[in-house]
Chains A and B, each alone.
Chain A
């Protein structure tokens, strides 16, 4: 086991606040790919897959010297209406280090779902580096589902460059795992829109560490961050959300919200919703709320004949619903809803 300091804040704050990074002991296994990404056939997109023997690192700060590289290009002006699914099933002692690059060429549009599943209870290790290049006027919706088992390790570093007039939505549905570390970095140009939506469910002794840094560089750009989650048992959750208005991004909007429902008095929620502002003419807002399930709502639902557990589940699902509605494909949405229902 080695001690690591991962997922560092873009701007450091007081060390005593214990939020600058994630200090964790890890045993990083060697890459051991037993299967492949299964990607829905779609003749309109160009896919290249290969094993690369080069260094791979992300803003999480872990480093590997070999990875599976997947490059997906959505050609210029191509509007793809069917959702493209990218699945990976883990088994045995599998260790996947991969990089997926989405090249959205000018005015293209396509929706993707990347899902990770486990077929057994072994400890799996997944490290994804996702790079999204949004061409001018392109439109993308990418959903990432972590549905591996409770013993798994999941690290995801996501970077997007959102060019002029592009519109990107990320939906991160994080349901399982012992250690889950997420890092998202986005840089928005003129009139670009970036929506980051996140659902997390934490239980047992799991650690969930999120570090999201959304930058408004261009004028009239919009960044939104909506994070909804619940934690219980001895779960530790750290949320760091930064919206950074760079000088010159006038008429831009940045809005971040995190709502964490605590279901036990042994879990711990730590949040840092940061707003950095170097431009006068912007609208920036953040909100954070934490606490147990709303008692009035609970009472109302229980008065209709539901048990406490069922009522709590309904309230959580209602909280998650606004995020799930951002997934455009209703079949995908329903199947994820089913998985969430089982997971709660």
Chain B
């Protein structure tokens, strides 16, 4: 994309685009969490019995499990008040023109159709509980690449979906993944066949429009042997006074010699509980790259897990969290080295301001059968005032002597020397601070595809407005 195009893309962005609301009433809303509701959802979607069985088992598991007794307080979440299923339109379309106008307007403002035309190989858009749009270019379809909504995947490729579904993330992983499996709706299904390479990314965008509702999309991606994929996930919601819940699930399978770059910009509104679960299995010499920017939500609890199962498998994890007033972003990662010569590189940064809380929580486990593994973990936290918090809670377990492992973390404020230097070059104190914050985030922004790096920088600017810069 040419530079001028990027600038246009940015110029059109303001906070208002994230706060746009579709005025049309959804055509169907379900409240509560009962066996009957799940049976209705399953019947509406015309699902096979094995899927309903999973939903019912998950419901049972959800009621048996306890809320986490660590991390941010989420005890105020009252599921009885939450719309657990919200259907915005009848059916899914392949042309943006066929999407209802008010919904299309929102995606237009978010730049989704524009991005699709310019930079994407395929694009999907979910509105509340259902996918309203999904498309993949014809040349990729001919290569055998599958990119559909999850419901379509289940209908058209049942054996493939059944083989992988809930195999990475089991339904009893934690209480809110059990809730997810009971209520899942929407999401994407991607299959990249052996040795297929995509020169442009696929993107799924998730929009939670309804107030007091939950979104439980399920994303399942299989990158077969020798194939490459870049996948971008975007999320946003307008701000309400009522609590919204996002309990999505992402299951990724990266097979032998395959690679997947999974980028996410989470820009949920600040009334959102974001209890998302992501997990990736990586085969021999495969590679998963997580690139994440967490900006929105009231509370986030998100720790993507990479299981390096094949010899020579790699994970690179790059993350930035930005917590402002009233936000508690508890993010991090989990990595299991489960084969020889596996490697992991982690670069996590966080910024907290105006009373925001950032917590980096991780668990890295090198198993006995993973000799000659290499790990390098780095976390840096920047606090912009003294009413905020920044905690780093990393757990490292090593079960083999033949490993190279280093973990370092730093917490601090903006250096006075750096501010002094920039001010001596003619910048005001506020400009100097803002420049330093952008510089702090720069290595992470660079890892995003260029359009999203620009969006991320714009989000940082929006977050800094009114505090510094």
Cα distance A272–B332 in the bound complex, in angstroms: 14
Q: In residues 349-368 of chain B, which contact A (Cβ within 8 Å)? A: 361, 363, 368
Q: Are A280 and B406 in contact (CB under 8 A)?
A: no
Partner pick for B404 among A250, A282, A291, CB 8 A cutoff: A291
Q: Are A277 and B68 in contact (CB under 8 A)?
A: no
Q: Are B363 and A16 in contact (CB under 8 A)?
A: yes
Cα distance A247–B392 in the bound complex, in angstroms: 16
User: Is B400 engaged at the interface, CB distance under 8 Å to the other chain?
Assistant: yes
User: Is B242 engaged at the interface, CB distance under 8 Å to the other chain?
Assistant: no
Q: Are B70 and A280 in contact (CB under 8 A)?
A: no
User: Is B389 engaged at the interface, CB distance under 8 Å to the other chain?
Assistant: yes
User: Is A328 engaged at the interface, CB distance under 8 Å to the other chain?
Assistant: no
User: Is A133 engaged at the interface, CB distance under 8 Å to the other chain?
Assistant: no
- Surface stretch bound by B, among A7-15, A48-56, A87-95, A144-152: A7-15
Cβ-closest chain B residue relative to A273: B394
Cα distance A12–B386 in the bound complex, in angstroms: 23
Cα distance A99–B387 in the bound complex, in angstroms: 39
Q: A14-B68, A280-B413, A285-B409 known; A291 and B403 CB under 8 Å?
A: yes
Q: Are A284 and B393 in contact (CB under 8 A)?
A: no
Q: Are B70 and A277 in contact (CB under 8 A)?
A: no
User: Is B5 engaged at the interface, CB distance under 8 Å to the other chain?
Assistant: no
- Surface stretch bound by A, among B95-103, B253-261, B285-293, B377-385: B377-385
Q: Are B393 and A11 in contact (CB under 8 A)?
A: yes
Cα distance A279–B412 in the bound complex, in angstroms: 9
Q: Are A13 and B408 in contact (CB under 8 A)?
A: no
Q: In residues 383-418 of chain B, which contact A (Cβ within 8 Å)? A: 383-413
Q: Are A285 and B361 in contact (CB under 8 A)?
A: no
Q: Are B386 and A272 in contact (CB under 8 A)?
A: no
Q: A14-B70, A275-B409 known; A268 and B398 CB under 8 Å?
A: yes
Partner pick for A13 among B371, B388, B395, B406, CB 8 A cutoff: B395
User: Is B69 engaged at the interface, CB distance under 8 Å to the other chain?
Assistant: yes
- Given the complex, which residues of B lie within 8 Å of A245, measured CB to CB? 411
Q: Are A276 and B391 in contact (CB under 8 A)?
A: yes
B323 to chain A, nearest CB (A): 13
Q: A12-B70, A274-B391 known; A284 and B406 CB under 8 Å?
A: no
Cβ-closest chain A residue relative to B391: A276
Q: A12-B69, A272-B394, A287-B408 known; A265 and B386 CB under 8 Å?
A: no
- Given the complex, which residues of A lie within 8 Å of B395, measured CB to CB? 13, 17, 19, 270-272
Q: In residues 240-276 of chain A, which contact B (Cβ within 8 Å)? A: 245, 247-248, 250, 260, 262-276
- Given the complex, which residues of B lie within 8 Å of A11, measured CB to CB? 391, 393
User: Is A78 engaged at the interface, CB distance under 8 Å to the other chain?
Assistant: no
Q: Are B392 and A265 in contact (CB under 8 A)?
A: no
User: Is A339 engaged at the interface, CB distance under 8 Å to the other chain?
Assistant: no
User: Is A115 engaged at the interface, CB distance under 8 Å to the other chain?
Assistant: no
Q: Are A263 and B391 in contact (CB under 8 A)?
A: no
Q: In residues 32-82 of chain B, which contact A (Cβ within 8 Å)? A: 68-71
Partner pick for A269 among B383, B397, B409, CB 8 A cutoff: B397
- Total contacts A-B at CB 8 Å: 139
Q: Are B406 and A289 in contact (CB under 8 A)?
A: yes
User: Is A281 engaged at the interface, CB distance under 8 Å to the other chain?
Assistant: yes
- Given the complex, which residues of A lie within 8 Å of B405, measured CB to CB? 288-291
User: Is A283 engaged at the interface, CB distance under 8 Å to the other chain?
Assistant: yes
B275 to chain A, nearest CB (A): 13
Cβ-closest chain A residue relative to B174: A16
User: Is A286 engaged at the interface, CB distance under 8 Å to the other chain?
Assistant: yes
- Given the complex, which residues of B lie within 8 Å of A20, measured CB to CB? 70
Q: Are A290 and B391 in contact (CB under 8 A)?
A: no
A220 to chain B, nearest CB (A): 15
Partner pick for B400 among A265, A271, A273, A280, CB 8 A cutoff: A265
Q: Are B402 and A292 in contact (CB under 8 A)?
A: yes
Q: Are B411 and A285 in contact (CB under 8 A)?
A: yes
- Given the complex, which residues of B lie within 8 Å of A260, measured CB to CB? 398
Q: Are B404 and A287 in contact (CB under 8 A)?
A: no
Q: A12-B69, A13-B70, A286-B409 known; A275 and B392 CB under 8 Å?
A: yes
User: Is A29 engaged at the interface, CB distance under 8 Å to the other chain?
Assistant: no
Cβ-closest chain A residue relative to B397: A270
Cβ-closest chain A residue relative to B366: A290
Cβ-closest chain A residue relative to B173: A16
- Given the complex, which residues of B lie within 8 Å of A287, measured CB to CB? 406-409
Cα distance A143–B413 in the bound complex, in angstroms: 35
Cα distance A247–B383 in the bound complex, in angstroms: 12
Q: Are B410 and A273 in contact (CB under 8 A)?
A: no
Partner pick for A273 among B363, B404, B407, CB 8 A cutoff: B407
List 12 contacting pairs A-B, 8 Å CB cutoff, sorted by A. Answer: A13-B70, A13-B361, A20-B70, A245-B411, A262-B401, A265-B401, A271-B397, A274-B394, A286-B407, A288-B407, A289-B407, A290-B396
A271-B396, A289-B406, A292-B403 known, 20 other contacts, Cβ within 8 Å: A13-B70, A14-B361, A14-B363, A15-B69, A15-B70, A250-B386, A265-B371, A266-B368, A269-B398, A271-B395, A272-B394, A274-B392, A275-B381, A277-B389, A278-B389, A280-B383, A282-B411, A284-B410, A284-B411, A289-B407
Show the binding face of A for B, using Cβ within 8 Å.
11-17, 19-20, 245, 247-248, 250, 260, 262-292
